[in-house]
């Protein structure tokens, strides 16, 4: 399979892109309108859920801001749909043809940068991290499909372990206790192993000396350990707690997301509650917290002191817990969110440059990769993201003529090999009619 293609297509934007209508403006407005409509549904749910989780009832001014926020975010999504198809058509008219980059990457970057400026600045970093998460996985799939890279054995475990090592080590030094990740991990492993380490060294004499021939291992703890209970009890007391928390949280979320299905089929409740994924998520949280605590205690006993760098090894070993609940979305999101956190921390410390409009640029680049894949190789997109694109465009994204894009060597029609657009033959060129005659 070719990585790059020198082929070009002389066909019009109607013949390749908006096959449901020969009119560019009408097509772009239609896609923008559908994206805006779906945006209202999506962002209403998102903003209301955030309001519920926040536990605060807004006043009249707060409700007004909430409504304006929903409308603005929906306009952003509608603008993204409108400007993508508009840029697709404009690039074709300026260049006179379609190339492998002008069919997806170039028009999508223009559209993404213009549309992200419509969204509130405070929302841009979160959007950038989300799409970068999905784009990184898509890019990896594209490279694997081309044979450029090979799948990495246990790649999720490696990424998650390295991310936790960096994250926990940073948290032992930072003063940014308002960070959302900080709060989540503090609730998971406890405040004792998150806060800054005490300085100095000590012997490994236990705090509670024992007088009998057999020591009470459950009450023994190192002088530098910040917890009150013995090391064994401290390390393993979270095992059952975190398992029950994880199982309960995952089960409740599944129930909430499955309400429409349960209304239609209440008998599915029991099968939903006993799904193995709830147990695996509980095991994931339990093992992560237990390993992290235990490693810190062991290192304090071995080295005779508490050290911020202990969190590196503890994070690496705790990261293996992801094997209980392998989830590329969670792993990649945490990785990119950690890199974002470290980047802004580096800016504050004067170690890294502050790139103007960094979030907008990152969003534009990442979403361009996704849109490029959606046009030329949708089979390499995550199925959930492909369904999302079909939902917000009312399936218009699936109505492009990907059969004609096969010349670029990206297997564009692999996902929908039998789809054939219905054209107004009075609006297509003779050259394209010749192509159709060969592919009927």
pLDDT cut 70: percent of the chain above it: 91
Asked whether residue 215 carries a pLDDT value surpassing 80, the answer given is no
Range picked from 51-55, 104-108, 176-180 for highest mean pLDDT:
104-108
Condensed to tens digits (0 to 9), the pLDDT of residues 53-103 reads 666 777 788 888 889 999 999 999 999 999 999 999 999 999 988 988 888
What phi and psi, each to the nearest 5 degrees, are found at residue 9? -115, 125
Per-residue pLDDT at 175: 67
What is the separation of C-alpha 241 from the centre of its chain, rounded to a whole number of angstroms?
28
pLDDT cut 90: percent of the chain above it: 42
- The average confidence (pLDDT) of the chain is 85
Name the least confident of 22-26, 333-337, 341-345: 341-345
Condensed to tens digits (0 to 9), the pLDDT of residues 383-432 reads 999 999 999 999 999 999 999 998 888 888 888 888 888 999 999 898 98
Condensed to tens digits (0 to 9), the pLDDT of residues 116-150 reads 999 999 889 989 999 999 999 999 999 988 888 88
Condensed to tens digits (0 to 9), the pLDDT of residues 345-386 reads 888 888 889 888 899 999 999 999 999 999 999 999 999 999
Per-residue pLDDT at 177: 67
Asked whether residue 13 carries a pLDDT value surpassing 60, the answer given is yes
Per-residue pLDDT at 53: 64
**pLDDT tier at 21, thresholds 50, 70, 90:** very high
Asked whether residue 112 carries a pLDDT value surpassing 90, the answer given is yes
Condensed to tens digits (0 to 9), the pLDDT of residues 260-295 reads 777 777 777 777 777 888 899 999 999 999 999 999
Average pLDDT over residues 329-340: 89
Asked whether residue 3 carries a pLDDT value surpassing 50, the answer given is no
The structural domains of the chain, with segments of one domain joined by +, span 13-119+377-438, 155-208+216-348
* pTM beyond cutoff 0.85: no
Per-residue pLDDT at 195: 65
């Amino acid at each position: 399979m070719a990585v790059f293609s020198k082929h070009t297509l002389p066909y019009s934007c109607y013949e390749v892109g908006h096959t449901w209508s020969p009119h560019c403006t009408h097509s772009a407005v239609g896609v923008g309108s559908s994206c805006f409509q779906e945006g209202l549904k999506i962002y209403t749910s998102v903003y209301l859920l955030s309001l519920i989780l926040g536990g605060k009832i807004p006043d009249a001014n707060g409700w007004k801001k909430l409504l304006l926020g929903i409308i603005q975010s929906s306009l952003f999504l509608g603008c993204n749909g409108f400007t993508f198809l508009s840029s697709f058509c404009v690039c074709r008219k300026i260049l006179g043809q379609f190339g492998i980059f002008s069919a997806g990457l170039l028009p999508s970057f223009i559209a993404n940068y213009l549309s992200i400026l419509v969204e509130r600045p405070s929302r841009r970093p979160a959007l950038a991290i989300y799409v970068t998460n999905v784009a990184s996985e898509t890019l990896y799939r594209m490279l694997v499909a081309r044979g450029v890279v090979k799948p990495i054995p246990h790649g999720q475990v490696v990424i998650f372990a390295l991310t936790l090592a960096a994250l926990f080590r940073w948290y032992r030094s930072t003063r940014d206790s308002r960070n959302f990740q900080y709060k989540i991990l503090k609730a998971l492993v406890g405040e004792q192993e998150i806060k800054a380490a005490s300085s100095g060294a000590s012997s490994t004499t236990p705090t509670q000396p024992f007088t009998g021939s057999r020591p009470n291992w459950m009450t023994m703890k190192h002088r530098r350990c910040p917890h009150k209970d013995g090391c064994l009890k401290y390390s393993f007391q979270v095992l059952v707690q975190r398992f029950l928390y994880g199982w309960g949280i995952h089960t409740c979320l599944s129930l909430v997301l499955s309400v429409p299905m349960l209304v239609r089929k209440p008998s599915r409740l029991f099968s939903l509650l006993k799904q193995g994924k709830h147990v695996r998520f509980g095991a994931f949280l339990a093992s992560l917290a237990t390993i992290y605590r235990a490693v810190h205690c062991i290192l304090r006993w071995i080295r005779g002191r508490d050290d911020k760098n202990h969190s590196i090894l503890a994070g690496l070993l705790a990261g293996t817990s992801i094997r209980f609940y392998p989830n590329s979305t969670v792993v990649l999101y945490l990785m990119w969110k950690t890199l974002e956190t470290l980047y802004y921390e580096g800016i504050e410390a004067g170690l890294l440059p502050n790139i103007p409009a960094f979030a907008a640029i990152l969003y534009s680049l990442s979403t361009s990769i996704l849109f490029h894949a959606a046009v030329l190789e949708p089979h390499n997109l995550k199925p959930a993201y492909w369904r999302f694109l079909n939902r917000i465009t009312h399936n218009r994204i699936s109505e492009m003529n990907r059969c004609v894009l096969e010349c670029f060597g990206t297997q564009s029609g692999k996902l929908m090999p039998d789809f054939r657009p219905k054209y107004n033959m009075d609006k297509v060129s003779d050259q394209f009619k010749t192509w159709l005659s060969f592919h009927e």
